[in-house]
């Protein structure tokens, strides 16, 4: 953790769950944190809690509704103006939505908006800050749901045929695929100072999905299963490891479970699918990878 002193780390969804647990652990190591939350008062409260618990006063906040592309882009602009260098980007914010499809005010299905579009905009938008770090790292929180629940239609990324667990599994699969795609694009353009990896935190006893209405049966089973879930601190372990460990220096384009590389769903894990999702995101968001912007 000595390596974390003076490192600037942005964590989205850091006001609870594994995001908050990771933030506390990284603050203990001396990192300069930027914690993101959607509610300003709650985010300020967590900021003060982290400072009080760790003694680290280098904890800044940024607030944005990452369901909205406009808010996400505004947050990118704010961070770039306040922090010319970002050493580590942790895309942790995520959601499983209700049994009935819900769209954002921008017309995007909410699961894909938060779990995929926001991380894409943050990764591509903050590359100019990350490339200024001598050891930039991007870590995307995915899920084993990409193996269990994903039924992607690569001709219809925007989820017209909706169910909550399928939408979540698909979004987390797409997130892994674009992590691999960005890793490859950076390599192709001679950028070896930024690594991009994804991870599964395990089933964690947080507020995640507890307010989602998945139907009475899944709601009931979820309450029972939560008794056997990991603590937020246990769920954050691999996340902190990927942010801090020298063991993975130069390791990029990988998917991790419990600090070890793991297999991505082989049914969908190929370069062609990576390109389809990446190209769709570039067109949908109007944001593209370009070395000219770095």
So what's the pLDDT on residue 191?
Answer: 95
So what's the pLDDT on residue 231?
Answer: 76
**Each residue's pLDDT tens digit, 45-77:** 999 999 999 999 999 999 999 999 999 999 999
So what's the pLDDT on residue 212?
Answer: 47
Distance CA 223, CA 225 (A): 6
Active-site hit among 162, 168, 241, 255: 168
So what's the pLDDT on residue 288?
Answer: 81
Q: Are 93 and 36 in contact (CB under 8 A)?
A: yes
255 is catalytic: no
> Is 134 buried (19+), middle (13-18) or exposed (0-12) by CB count in 10 A?
exposed
Q: Longest C-alpha distance within the chain, in Å?
A: 52
Distance CA 238, CA 230 (A): 13
Q: Which residues contact 167 (CB under 8 A, 6 or more apart)?
A: 97, 109, 111, 112, 159
**Structural domain that includes position 39:** 2-293
Threshold 0.85, pTM exceeds: yes
So what's the pLDDT on residue 39?
Answer: 97
Task: Kindly compute the dihedral angle of the four CA atoms of residues 260, 261, 266, 272, in this order, to the nearest 10 degrees.
Answer: 150
So what's the pLDDT on residue 289?
Answer: 80
> Is 190 buried (19+), middle (13-18) or exposed (0-12) by CB count in 10 A?
exposed
Distance CA 284, CA 158 (A): 10
**Each residue's pLDDT tens digit, 193-221:** 999 999 998 654 445 444 544 544 444 44
Q: Are 255 and 142 in contact (CB under 8 A)?
A: yes
Question: SS3 for 8?
Answer: strand
Q: What is the CATH number of the domain that holds 42?
A: 3.40.50.720
Strand partners for 89:
10, 138
Based on DSSP, count helices (H) and strands (E) in the chain, helices before strands.
12, 8
Q: Are 38 and 13 in contact (CB under 8 A)?
A: no
Strands 88-91 and 136-141 come out as parallel
Regions in the chain scoring below 50 on pLDDT: 2, 204-206, 208-210, 212-213, 215-228
Distance CA 10, CA 141 (A): 13
Q: Are 253 and 179 in contact (CB under 8 A)?
A: yes
Distance CA 188, CA 179 (A): 14
Within the chain, strands assigned E span 8-11, 32-37, 59-63, 88-91, 136-141, 194-200, 255-257, 260-261
Q: Which residues of 76-95 are buried (b: 16+ CB within 10 A; e: fewer)?
A: beebeeebeebbbbbbbbbb
User: What percentage of residues in the chain have a pLDDT greater than 90?
Assistant: 73
Q: What is the tally of structural domains in the chain?
A: 1
């Amino acid at each position: 953790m000595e390596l974390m002193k003076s490192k600037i780390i942005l964590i989205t969804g850091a006001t609870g769950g594994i995001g908050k647990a990771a933030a506390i652990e990284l603050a203990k190591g001396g990192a300069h944190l930027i914690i993101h939350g959607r509610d300003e008062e709650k985010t300020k409260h967590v900021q003060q809690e982290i400072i009080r618990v760790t003694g680290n006063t280098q904890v800044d906040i940024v607030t944005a509704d990452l369901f909205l592309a406009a808010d996400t882009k505004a947050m990118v602009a704010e961070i770039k103006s306040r922090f010319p260098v970002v050493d580590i980007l942790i895309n942790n914010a995520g959601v499983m939505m209700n049994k009935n499809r819900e769209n954002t005010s921008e017309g995007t299905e909410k699961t894909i908006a938060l779990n995929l579009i926001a991380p894409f905009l943050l990764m591509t938008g903050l590359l100019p800050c990350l490339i200024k770090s001598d050891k930039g790292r991007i870590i995307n929180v995915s899920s084993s749901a990409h193996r269990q629940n994903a039924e992607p239609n690569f001709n219809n990324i925007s989820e017209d045929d909706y169910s909550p667990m399928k939408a979540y599994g698909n979004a987390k699969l797409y997130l892994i695929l674009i992590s691999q795609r960005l890793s490859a694009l950076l390599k192709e353009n001679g950028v070896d100072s930024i690594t991009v990896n994804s991870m599964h935190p395990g089933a964690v006893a947080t507020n995640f999905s507890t307010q989602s209405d998945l139907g009475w049966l899944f709601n009931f089973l979820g309450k029972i299963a939560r008794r056997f879930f990991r603590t937020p601190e246990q769920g954050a372990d691999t996340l902190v490891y990927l942010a801090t460990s020298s063991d993975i220096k130069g390791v990029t384009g990988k998917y991790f479970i419990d600090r070890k590389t793991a297999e991505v769903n082989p049914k969908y894990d190929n370069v062609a699918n990576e390109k389809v999702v990446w190209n769709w995101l570039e067109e949908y968001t109007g944001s593209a990878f370009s070395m000219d912007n770095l």
